[in-house]
Amino acid sequence: MSEMNPFKIAQQQLDEAARKLGLDPATHELLRWPMREYRFTLPVKMDNGQTRIFHGYRVQYNAARGPTKGGLRWHPDETIDTVRALAAWMTWKCAVVNIPLGGGKGGVTCNPKEMSEGEKERLSRAYIRAVARELGVHRDVPAPDVYTTPQIMAWMMDEFEAIYGESHPGVITGKPIALGGSEGRGDATARGGVYVVREAAKKIKLDVSKASYAIQGFGNAGQFAATLHREILGGGKLIAVSDSRGGVMSKSGIDPSAIVKHKLETGKVEGFPGTTPVSNSELLELDVDVLYPSALEGAITGANAGNIKAKIVCELANGPTTPEADAILHKNGILVLPDFMANAGGVTVSYFEQVQNTYNYYWSMADIDQQLDRRMTDAFEAVYTTRERAKVHMRLAAYMVAVTRVAEACKLRGWV
């Protein structure tokens, strides 16, 4: 799957939903393409005194439901097609959690691991100088993504405000709290994922307080999932976790907070006391109730899907399950909580950040939590109901919910 052009995959997923929904040809064609896209050539003065030229992108996929929203990815492999695909997925993600935003995405082809802080700051400011006239709280609002950070968001906001000579904190989200960032953004993705696991468990009558769970990938999403699963669901036994170096397991259970501490201190999960090693592929096939793929795309494929024993698969990662695997999991009665619904907690709290910035009034963590819970629970309910009614797998059901909402907005505007 990862070898296919990601934008072609995104278009194929839409095509399947469009067929199932009987979408009219004009709306279908409109939703297959970004409505607007920009490419920028960015000269940046490097520390050695030479100027390097970077290539940047911003795609505003569809703004029918509101200003476009989506992260900025800085990656050596970044291409316009990755950005287009991610912008399409942002459109469906915002729609499935019913936040009044469209989808967008941006990026720069670069390797931030080889850049100094000064070079990153100059690249951030160059990007904003190029894109500023297309951004704004009523136009398009970027956020962090792979290899971009709250500090980068802070430089970008500062450059935007310098250009316009006004305060515009809502022009970008994922900012540090001291500059108008929101409470709860750090763990929002995992928190949202655990809320949908709670709802899914009710449907299949699984007692989550006694359920076992395993997590593949132990970064931001995976670590918070480990602790929040127990905290929110009032129990549960963590059986195994893994990162890129390998995994560990214990049938009698792993203390989530202790293994997070171990990972932060040693940089790995290996060697955690009281555990035995488990490979990344073995972890996926363990006999657990809930599996959280939280690493990379393409983890569950046609080759291993038949061996998955979990009752619920909560995709915190983007694209962990191939289309072939999806069909197998569905046939085997496994409830998959698809990525753009399961990991939508992050963009939902980004939206809350934008709202707070606009009002210049800030919510407590309790307010954020309550609002996030409601959005995630409603999204799950809409998708699950569609799954039952249309007799389709969860990912297709999520697409059907999202595409219906975006198509309705396009129609009401008179675009199609």
What is the smallest separation between the CB atom of 132 and ligand NAD, expressed in angstroms?
Answer: 25
The window from 158-166, 215-223, 321-329, 401-409 that contacts ligand NAD (CB under 6 A) reads 215-223
Window 66-105: residues binding ligand NAD (CB under 6 A)? none
Binding residue for ligand NAD (CB under 6 A) from 91, 250, 343, 356? 343
Output DSSP code: residue 170.
G
Q: In whole angstroms, give the CA distance from residue 171 to residue 201.
A: 38
Q: In whole angstroms, give the CA distance from residue 140 to residue 413.
A: 19
The window from 47-55, 219-227, 355-363, 392-400 that contacts ligand NAD (CB under 6 A) reads 219-227
Window 244-273: residues binding ligand NAD (CB under 6 A)? 244
Concerning whether 69 is annotated as a catalytic residue, the answer is no
Helix axes of 117-131 and 150-164: crossing angle, nearest 10 degrees: 50
Comparison of 130 and 296: residue with beta carbon closer to ligand NAD: 296
Q: Are the CB atoms for 312 and 200 separated by under 8 Å? A: yes
Q: What are the E-state strand segments in 244-383?
A: 246-254, 276-278, 290-293, 312-314, 335-337
Structure tokens at 119: 């070079």
Output DSSP code: residue 49.
S
Q: Does 316 bind ligand NAD (CB under 6 A)?
A: yes
Q: Does 220 bind ligand NAD (CB under 6 A)?
A: yes
Q: Does 318 bind ligand NAD (CB under 6 A)?
A: yes
What is the smallest separation between the CB atom of 342 and ligand NAD, expressed in angstroms?
Answer: 9
Binding residue for ligand NAD (CB under 6 A) from 173, 294, 321, 350? 294
Q: Does 192 bind ligand NAD (CB under 6 A)?
A: no
Helix (H) or strand (E) holding 157: helix 150-164
Q: In whole angstroms, give the CA distance from residue 82 to residue 65.
A: 22
Q: Does 242 bind ligand NAD (CB under 6 A)?
A: yes
Q: Does 364 bind ligand NAD (CB under 6 A)?
A: no
Q: Are the CB atoms for 253 and 237 separated by under 8 Å? A: yes
Q: Does 184 bind ligand NAD (CB under 6 A)?
A: no
Q: In whole angstroms, give the CA distance from residue 75 to residue 87.
A: 16
Query: Measuring CA to CA, which residue among 342, 206, 222 is closest to residue 280?
Result: 222
Q: In whole angstroms, give the CA distance from residue 291 to residue 27.
A: 36
Q: Does 217 bind ligand NAD (CB under 6 A)?
A: yes
Q: Are the CB atoms for 79 and 109 separated by under 8 Å? A: yes
Q: Does 193 bind ligand NAD (CB under 6 A)?
A: no
Q: Does 160 bind ligand NAD (CB under 6 A)?
A: no
Q: Does 46 bind ligand NAD (CB under 6 A)?
A: no
Q: Does 295 bind ligand NAD (CB under 6 A)?
A: yes
Binding site for ligand NAD (CB under 6 A): 189, 216-222, 242-244, 280, 294-296, 316-318, 343, 346
The catalytic site residues sit at 105
